Amino acid sequence: MTTLNLGMVGAGRIGQVHAANLAARVPGARLVAIADIAFEAAQKLAGQYNVSHAYDNPEAILDDPAIDAVIVASATDTHPAIIEGAAAAGKHIFCEKPIARSLAEIDGALTAVDKAGVKLQIGFNRRFDANFARVRRAIVDGEIGQPHLLHIISRDPGPPPLSYIRVSGGIFLDMTIHDFDMARFLLGSEVVEVYTSGAVLVDPAIGEAGDIDTALVLLTFASGALGVIDNSRRAVYGYDQRVEILGSGGAIQTENKYPNAAIISTGDHIRRDLPLHFFLERYADSFALELAQFVEAVVHDRPTPVTGEDGRIPVVMALAAAKSLHEKRPVRLDEIAPV
Amino acid sequence: MTTLNLGMVGAGRIGQVHAANLAARVPGARLVAIADIAFEAAQKLAGQYNVSHAYDNPEAILDDPAIDAVIVASATDTHPAIIEGAAAAGKHIFCEKPIARSLAEIDGALTAVDKAGVKLQIGFNRRFDANFARVRRAIVDGEIGQPHLLHIISRDPGPPPLSYIRVSGGIFLDMTIHDFDMARFLLGSEVVEVYTSGAVLVDPAIGEAGDIDTALVLLTFASGALGVIDNSRRAVYGYDQRVEILGSGGAIQTENKYPNAAIISTGDHIRRDLPLHFFLERYADSFALELAQFVEAVVHDRPTPVTGEDGRIPVVMALAAAKSLHEKRPVRLDEIAPV
Amino acid sequence: MTTLNLGMVGAGRIGQVHAANLAARVPGARLVAIADIAFEAAQKLAGQYNVSHAYDNPEAILDDPAIDAVIVASATDTHPAIIEGAAAAGKHIFCEKPIARSLAEIDGALTAVDKAGVKLQIGFNRRFDANFARVRRAIVDGEIGQPHLLHIISRDPGPPPLSYIRVSGGIFLDMTIHDFDMARFLLGSEVVEVYTSGAVLVDPAIGEAGDIDTALVLLTFASGALGVIDNSRRAVYGYDQRVEILGSGGAIQTENKYPNAAIISTGDHIRRDLPLHFFLERYADSFALELAQFVEAVVHDRPTPVTGEDGRIPVVMALAAAKSLHEKRPVRLDEIAPV
Amino acid sequence: MTTLNLGMVGAGRIGQVHAANLAARVPGARLVAIADIAFEAAQKLAGQYNVSHAYDNPEAILDDPAIDAVIVASATDTHPAIIEGAAAAGKHIFCEKPIARSLAEIDGALTAVDKAGVKLQIGFNRRFDANFARVRRAIVDGEIGQPHLLHIISRDPGPPPLSYIRVSGGIFLDMTIHDFDMARFLLGSEVVEVYTSGAVLVDPAIGEAGDIDTALVLLTFASGALGVIDNSRRAVYGYDQRVEILGSGGAIQTENKYPNAAIISTGDHIRRDLPLHFFLERYADSFALELAQFVEAVVHDRPTPVTGEDGRIPVVMALAAAKSLHEKRPVRLDEIAPV
């Protein structure tokens, strides 16, 4: 297989990122079709990157025998059906997170994938970020010994629209889910229990919509390590994405990414510009890299770097975190589902 | 009153720090007597700093009418009796933390102080550290708006001897107590509930001695803010003392203190020397400053900057943290005692 | 003009960079032909990026009426003839630095460009680097007032092959020339005098080849500001590219670029990974940006951001620096040529 | 000799620093007399630190057989006579820099010291600063190999009064002299030639007073290394004192010292407080350390860490720098005096 032909379902914000990366930064891949129920969006994106076909439905992609793999970048509630359809059609799948909002749907989709024997990769792009990949490498290489304590700081520059918050499944499913993935990825150990403390401090309307905007989630790992995730829907200085691990032999911590490294000294203070504002800028390279590795995994018939199970467990963690917040007690993951 | 005459009980490690500071860095104060049941230690320290009297018992200091104030730097279990004796003798008191290990003793001592109308300051020196004082000033001045999330990283370079751990009252009373004080000092809001996650990861012998060596303590503040304290008995790179606060209008974070600011670039990496190793070096300036402010408070008849209540509440927090760890549930402070 | 058709002469290292950027990161441009006297290199590069034509001579590009603009990425000694040919053919020109090694050739080429009325941009890519562009913006916006003192640190990770050094025209023409451009770009003022101090400290063979490997070049600007360029052929920790300006109202300084922002603490030291190793990694974004701005300048008929004069003056500065080193005295630029 | 008895001539700004340090931070020393032609200043300072005697003339100190050593902290033009008097009286000498403003006076004073066989230390306190001492240690230990390039950044927060500038001997003698000492101290190699570029950019009145306020001084070392000193009379952000050395095996650079390590993030930028404002704060520790080492050198009959020759050579460098500025050419130090 010299070039991998891909079809993409979804021409929204993240679909646009994938289309741009496939055009320029993913060797060995060609995007040949884009489908979106908003047909004009599909057409426009296809035109922009010389993609041959634009459709208003995913079936056109699933039915095209020339397409080797499908990128699922549509709304979350459409994921399971598209995954199952793609699996049935024998196409490999790259699916945005979360796979679905219910474990039943996820399990159904994963079963279909397993049965079909196609490859599945979940879009946890942060694993491919240079900072977090470096942290993971430090753990794997033993640079800091056995991990004892983990901090994940993960704050958005501002809350999403209330309309989104009302349907997103809550902060744990729409925001913390990335941090849940990061926690188990970085430490290489599963979380067995969570305890959640949450508050509405950013905007009361978020509370009225049934969600929280500020959270600390304690994690207990199977390895014995402890961790904490710090989430806020609003850090006025921009996107704040850092991790820190204390190990038996040292510690590693990461800084944010900045548009430049200039330091300005005035009569008032020493200052620098704000960090890269949000995830599209901050994680630009990681979006390219995750697709490149998906293409490599398919082309060379290797396991994908983020499996279906990697997509399922963070959802279990999110459900446990929500239960802990609601019941004000530590919740074991196996209370939610076998993991 | 031109010069304040002080007597000190305790000629151990922290007593030596106070004696040196009184000789050189605390204007308007004169240390005139040192008492220690290890009489030779009292004699040696007195000789070193031209202190007129050395005694083998605290009563000699309490009985001396020329002494205006007493520094209590002896073993914790001796604190209550000395405080009560000093109060009865009408002497002002600077007492090392914790005031005592039981709330009953603390309440007894504080009642005696109140009744006598003398001043009492507790040795929470970290409040006087340039970094933490700067953080407090940022909160007071509204530089970062209303606090939402607090992180305190507080790790020792290595565990104390097991003999100490067996009698210290546990990690929350001997180590976290400083962080409990820091939490309420920095945010200017009381903690209403704690949840503790702990582990023995540094040394199994610590667990066998009935203590833990690694902990995350979640804090819920009356203001609605959330916080987490990260404790480890061993950070191999040295004493790690940082805080970070996210507020509605920004964030503030502090770095460790280093012996120098030199950066060395080699063919292997970019590096700097380790931070100041432990509390005597790191907090050297804060020990001088707390005594200077105590002396000023007494001389100018102003409230001390760290009151008896400031000494009592962290003990309540420590007891709540221990109860939470033991019962594996969030514990409100008012379950322990009225605060 | 919807899409700009470009031909490129030179399929070497920098030509490969331009071809990749034209394929992916330069909107509105299409590379349609590549010429190289090493025909196979041209063919291979053309194949890699779907470029229609590969040639073994530049004339084929100059003769093609469908080509709007030419990228000159061949050996320096071929630049003048290609520029003049392109100008005669009415094609716009993007030329790598230096334009040529002799002022006579440069003046001939610039006269041809002027006469033909085509656009010319010189490949001083560092102007488009995020750090240096930020410094320039600080000066333009008056963030640090009037510039007084400039430092440019510009060190390579290792010396080029001696074969290159023997023909490069010397350190000032092959390496410092970028810094000469940076100096006048950042300050927005011309240099009127230079004084050079040089040494052979890295490798005696470089001295035997008639060059130096370590230099400090003092600059006097027309504005009255003073500057110094620090060059070394070898910094073992990698590519070191920083600037610092003191102004009447403050200062600005830049740091190097790093592959990640992770800090690792061990029992030995606090460390981070080495900076990006050399110019291809460090200046990757600036190479894309300079071409994008060239294309925009041509398409919208605006002046190019780096003019022919911007290409000529650094050569005058290089010749003055060499003369100063040789004669051990300050040399005014107008001793070399009118500027 | 158990305790060293010192007398000090000069109760001005630097004398006050020395008196405070002798009281508290210099073990084994006792300041027993202070002389100042402004007698009240001597009296006041003596009172502040329990110094037994205050005089209005230096002779009273030189004549007192109980005094072992003299600190010369009076105006520069009084240094030679006091040094010679102290030497004649067999007293060891700690003298502020510069020893004198003319080489003839310096040579006379040094001859007297040699003849008398007393110890002499010059007050180049920066050698004892933790940052610069660390840099020196890196060189001595070979951490960065053989030094190739040195940068010294040395900028004051603001110019001294014009009245001072008119009599100080010029920027090279009153300001750069510290950097000249630092250059030869750090590299452990003598400077053989200087070239100076200077300007009046801060305040025209400084130019009218016959001085400059902005300078770059190129240094050529006997070892072959090159260096540059960057001086400005005004950095609005405060005292800027940094060095950087590139060596064959790496590089070392230092940062300024800050009152705290807090970083504040707002919606506008990431900022920190300004560095310590001026030399009294920045070099506070180094002033204590230089005296402690002087006392140790005397008590244990060891060479002082900053000799008379160390005081003389920077004056030769200053004279060469001034000559270079005036004659607009490189000047070898041996044109000024044998070194």
Q: Do C267 and B235 touch (CB under 8 A)?
A: no
Residue A309 included in any domain: no
Least confident range of B115-119, B237-241, C122-126, C166-170: C166-170
Cis-peptide into D204, omega within 30 deg? no
Rounded mean pLDDT of chain D? Answer: 96
pLDDT at C25: 84
> Distance (Å, rounded) from C-alpha B114 to C-alpha B109?
9
For residue D277, which of D247, D239, D242, D310 has the smallest C-alpha distance? D239
Residue D6 has pLDDT above 70, yes or no: yes
Q: What is the CATH number of the domain that holds C53?
A: 3.40.50.720
Residue D190 has pLDDT above 70, yes or no: yes
Identify all chain D residues contacting C335, using CB atoms and an 8 Å cutoff: none
pLDDT in tens, A195-220: 999 999 999 999 999 999 999 999 99
Q: CA nearest D277 in A: which residue?
A: A267
Which of C101, C118, C135 is a domain's end point? C118
| Residue type for position D213 | D
Number of domains in chain A: 2
Q: Which helix (H) or strand (E) holds C216?
A: strand C214-221
| Nearest residue, CB atoms, A232 vs list B148, B198, B215 | B148
pLDDT at A24: 75
**Do A319 and A181 share a domain, yes or no?**
yes
Q: Do C266 and B235 touch (CB under 8 A)?
A: no
pLDDT in tens, A130-175: 999 999 999 999 999 999 999 999 999 999 999 999 988 899 999 9
Question: Tokens 């040949």 map to which residue?
Answer: A32
| Residue type for position B248 | S
Residue B1 has pLDDT above 60, yes or no: no
**Do B330 and B207 share a domain, yes or no?**
yes
> Distance (Å, rounded) from C-alpha B165 to C-alpha D284?
39
Confidence label for A50 from pLDDT (cuts 50, 70 and 90): confident
Q: Minimal Cα–Cα distance from D113 to chain A, Å?
A: 46
| Nearest residue, CB atoms, A236 vs list D266, D272, D274 | D266
Which residues of chain C from 225 to 284 reach within 8 Å of chain B, CB to CB? 235-237, 265-275
Question: D121 by DSSP, 3-state: which?
Answer: strand
Which of C87, C118, C149 is a domain's end point? C118
Q: Which chains touch D (3 or more CB pairs under 8 A)?
A: A, B, C
Q: How long a stretch of residues is chain C?
A: 339
Share of chain B above pLDDT 70, in %: 100
Residue D1 has pLDDT above 60, yes or no: no
For residue C200, which of C238, C226, C162, C167 has the smallest C-alpha distance? C162
Phi, psi (5° rounding) for residue D222? -60, -30
Residue A294 included in any domain: no
**Do B159 and B107 share a domain, yes or no?**
no
Residue D289 included in any domain: no
Q: How many helices (H) and strands (E) does chain D have?
A: 13, 15
Residue D201 included in any domain: yes
Identify all chain D residues contacting A237, using CB atoms and an 8 Å cutoff: 265-267, 270
> Distance (Å, rounded) from C-alpha C301 to C-alpha C56?
31
Give me C125's structure tokens: 């890519």
**Do B330 and B233 share a domain, yes or no?**
yes
pLDDT in tens, A235-283: 999 999 999 999 999 999 999 999 999 999 999 999 999 999 999 999 9
Residues 6+ apart with CB under 8 A from C335: C320, C323
Burial class (CB in 10 A: 0-12, 13-18, 19+), B181: buried
**Do C100 and C233 share a domain, yes or no?**
no
In chain D, at which residue ranges do the beta strands (DSSP E only) sit? 4-9, 29-35, 53-55, 69-72, 92-95, 120-122, 147-155, 191-199, 214-221, 226-232, 240-247, 250-254, 262-265, 270-272, 331-332
Identify all chain D residues contacting B130, using CB atoms and an 8 Å cutoff: 259-260
Give the torsion sign (CA, D46, D51, D52, D53). negative
pLDDT in tens, B192-205: 999 999 999 999 99
* DSSP secondary structure letter of residue A276: P
For residue D153, which of D226, D257, D228 has the smallest C-alpha distance? D228
Rounded mean pLDDT of chain B? Answer: 96
pLDDT at D339: 74
Q: Do D270 and A271 touch (CB under 8 A)?
A: yes
For residues C40-53, give the mean pLDDT.
93
Confidence label for A110 from pLDDT (cuts 50, 70 and 90): very high
| Nearest residue, CB atoms, B230 vs list A149, A202, A248 | A149
Rounded mean pLDDT of chain C? Answer: 96
**Do C254 and C329 share a domain, yes or no?**
yes
Q: Which chains touch C (3 or more CB pairs under 8 A)?
A: A, B, D
* DSSP secondary structure letter of residue A173: I
> Distance (Å, rounded) from C-alpha D273 to C-alpha B252?
12
* DSSP secondary structure letter of residue D272: E
Q: Minimal Cα–Cα distance from B245 to chain A, Å?
A: 11
Q: Do D271 and A269 touch (CB under 8 A)?
A: yes
> ipTM surpassing 0.90, yes or no?
yes
Confidence label for D248 from pLDDT (cuts 50, 70 and 90): very high
CA angle, residues C205, C207, C210, in degrees to nearest 5? 115
* C170 φ/ψ sector (left φ>0, alpha ψ -120 to 50, else beta): left
List Cα–Cα distances, D12 to B3, B53, D19, D92, D279, in angstroms.
Answer: 26, 36, 10, 21, 15
Rounded mean pLDDT of chain A? Answer: 96
Confidence label for D191 from pLDDT (cuts 50, 70 and 90): very high
pLDDT in tens, C7-32: 999 999 999 999 999 987 888 899 99
Share of chain A above pLDDT 90, in %: 94
> Distance (Å, rounded) from C-alpha C258 to C-alpha A29?
29
Confidence label for A7 from pLDDT (cuts 50, 70 and 90): very high
Q: Do B225 and A199 touch (CB under 8 A)?
A: yes
pLDDT at C24: 75
**Do D95 and D165 share a domain, yes or no?**
no
Pairing of strands B147-155, A214-221: unpaired
Burial class (CB in 10 A: 0-12, 13-18, 19+), C259: middle
pLDDT in tens, B219-233: 999 999 999 999 999
Q: Do D138 and B253 touch (CB under 8 A)?
A: no
**Do A320 and A176 share a domain, yes or no?**
yes
Give me A24's structure tokens: 């320029």
pLDDT in tens, B126-147: 999 999 999 999 999 999 999 9
Confidence label for C42 from pLDDT (cuts 50, 70 and 90): very high
Identify all chain A residues contacting B246, using CB atoms and an 8 Å cutoff: 155, 230, 232, 235
> Distance (Å, rounded) from C-alpha D194 to C-alpha D228?
9
DSSP per residue, A217-246: EEEEETTS-EEEEEEES--TT--EEEEEEE
**Cβ pair D34, D98 in contact under 8 A:** no
**Cβ pair D67, D93 in contact under 8 A:** no
Which residues of chain B from 82 to 141 reach within 8 Å of chain D, CB to CB? 130-131, 133-135, 138
Reported as half-sphere exposure (CB side, CA atoms, 13 A), residue D241 has a value of 27
Question: C288 by DSSP, 3-state: which?
Answer: helix
Q: Minimal Cα–Cα distance from B329 to chain C, Å?
A: 34
Q: Do C149 and D228 touch (CB under 8 A)?
A: no
Question: Tokens 């299409």 map to which residue?
Answer: C30
**Cβ pair A277, A237 in contact under 8 A:** no
Q: Which domain holds residue A10?
A: 4-118
Reported as half-sphere exposure (CB side, CA atoms, 13 A), residue D206 has a value of 23
Least confident range of A11-25, B59-73, B121-135: A11-25
List Cα–Cα distances, B27 to A75, B131, D25, in angstroms.
Answer: 69, 23, 15
pLDDT in tens, C246-270: 999 999 999 999 999 999 999 999 9
* Partners of C216 in beta bridges: C197, C230
Q: Minimal Cα–Cα distance from D150 to chain A, Å?
A: 22
**Do C141 and C67 share a domain, yes or no?**
no
Mutation pick from C232, C265, C266, C272 vs chain B, by most beta carbons of B within 10 Å, is: C265
Phi, psi (5° rounding) for residue D109? -65, -40
Q: CA nearest C262 in B: which residue?
A: B270
Residue A249 included in any domain: yes
For residue D132, which of D257, D303, D291 has the smallest C-alpha distance? D257
**Do A17 and A134 share a domain, yes or no?**
no
pLDDT at D27: 82
Residue A58 has pLDDT above 60, yes or no: yes
Q: What is the CATH number of the domain that holds A198?
A: 3.30.360.10
Give the number of other CB atoms < 10 A from CB of residue B52: 12
**Do D96 and D175 share a domain, yes or no?**
no
> Distance (Å, rounded) from C-alpha D325 to C-alpha A294?
65
**Cβ pair C315, C187 in contact under 8 A:** no
Residue B264 included in any domain: yes
Q: Which is more confident, C338 or B114? A: B114
> Distance (Å, rounded) from C-alpha D20 to C-alpha A333?
63
Residue C269 included in any domain: yes
Q: Minimal Cα–Cα distance from D294 to chain A, Å?
A: 37
Residue A298 included in any domain: no
| Residue type for position A254 | T
- Strands of the A29-35 sheet, one edge to the other: A53-55, A29-35, A4-9, A69-72, A92-95, A120-122
Q: Minimal Cα–Cα distance from D169 to chain C, Å?
A: 23
**Do B98 and B55 share a domain, yes or no?**
yes
Crossing angle (nearest 10°) for helices D13-24 and B13-24: 150
Give the number of other CB atoms < 10 A from CB of residue C326: 11
pLDDT at D146: 98
Which of B70, B88, B118 is a domain's end point? B118
pLDDT at B23: 82
Residues 6+ apart with CB under 8 A from A127: A133, A136, A181, A182, A185, A286, A290, A305, A306
